[in-house]
Amino acid sequence: MLNPAAPAADPGAYSLALPPLFAALAPARSILIAGAGGGFDVYAGLPLAFALSRGGARVHLASLSFSELELIDRDAWLAEHVAAVQPDTGSPDWYFPERTLARWLAAQELPSTVYAFPPLGVQPLRAAYRHLVEHLDIDAVVLVDGGTDVLLRGDESDLGTPVEDITSLAAVAALDVPVKLVTSLGFGIDAYDGVNHVQVLENLAALDREGGYLGALSIPSSSREAALYRDAVADAQAATPDRPSIVQGQIAAATSGAFGDVRFTRRTGGGDLFVNPLMAIYFTVDLDKLAARCLYLDRIENTVGRRQVITRIQAFRDELLNARIPRAFPH
């Protein structure tokens, strides 16, 4: 187990000697780490999952899936909108990150169930999360974003690709779970989707003033967690050569000390990437405080389908009179 004497999720109890991310999770014994943005986002939670498991916590993995889950084995469904994907779960879909991860975990002799949700609106996704929280006796949820768009509040110059991230945020915000966190891995990656990262830093500073920022934590390149993560990402790239994750590929490269325009897939053109050490840092915030700062969370609260979420976010942006002006880093 993690040190039982570690401070609980009280900002006043944090110290430099123990990262606040681990201090906040220290009381938890059953932790759900879920990819907020869908697809391969769950992979960004692996280094954290390995560290927590090594400390004695029971860690479970979940993913908002872009696969055709309706095609998988019927006995894989725990409940409506909650599938338990195993290494041998049958599906004709060639793009199935959850099964790819389950098979890799099994090959490492690690617990190999990866729970999957279809892309939904807030209400059914919340019901799916609630069922899984009860089924697994979860006392901490960590939403993981590969990138930083989950940290945007709505009035930034561009929101990147917020639909799945913010749906997940809204779904989990209303759950009665003792510890709820959001952590972002891959700082800078969303610049290719228009995100201005000066505004991301501004948001983190605002959360810090409100007691909602749990700091930044780098993944040591020589650590067991980094080595396992890189191996998992390489395995996923081999399993989906036509659609490898650009996000996870950059993060994995960053954890090995790579820099600049690193080539690992034909999906990116020459000179497109800027891999750097900031991509290998977890930026963690309190989920409820992050949700409270989102300017349009109420707009999507009663959604049932993904298309509704898209429409309502766009309506909010169309009505926005004064988006924040993007700024360049001054140094």
Q: How far apart are CA 243 and CA 230, in angstroms?
A: 17
Residue 243 DSSP symbol: S
pLDDT at residue 269 in the model: 67
115 contacts 60 by C-beta, under 8 angstroms = yes
- Report the 10 Å Cβ neighbour count for 109: 7
Residue 58 DSSP symbol: E
Give CA angle at 159 (217, 38), nearest 5°.
65
- CATH value of 22-221+279-319 in 3.30.1380, 3.30.460, 1.10.3470, 3.40.50: 3.40.50
SS3 content of the chain, % helix, strand, coil (to 5): 45, 15, 40
Along the chain (331 residues), what's the average pLDDT of each consecutive run of 10 residues? 38 81 97 97 98 97 97 96 98 96 98 98 98 98 98 98 98 98 98 96 98 98 98 97 94 97 76 91 98 98 98 98 94 85
pLDDT at residue 331 in the model: 85
Q: How far apart are the first and last CA of the chain?
A: 42
Q: Which two tokens stand for residue 181?
A: 């966190």
Q: What is the pTM of this model?
A: 0.95
The full set of domain ranges for the chain reads: 22-221+279-319
Helix and strand numbers, DSSP H then E, in the chain:
11, 9
Give CA angle at 132 (127, 133), nearest 5°.
95
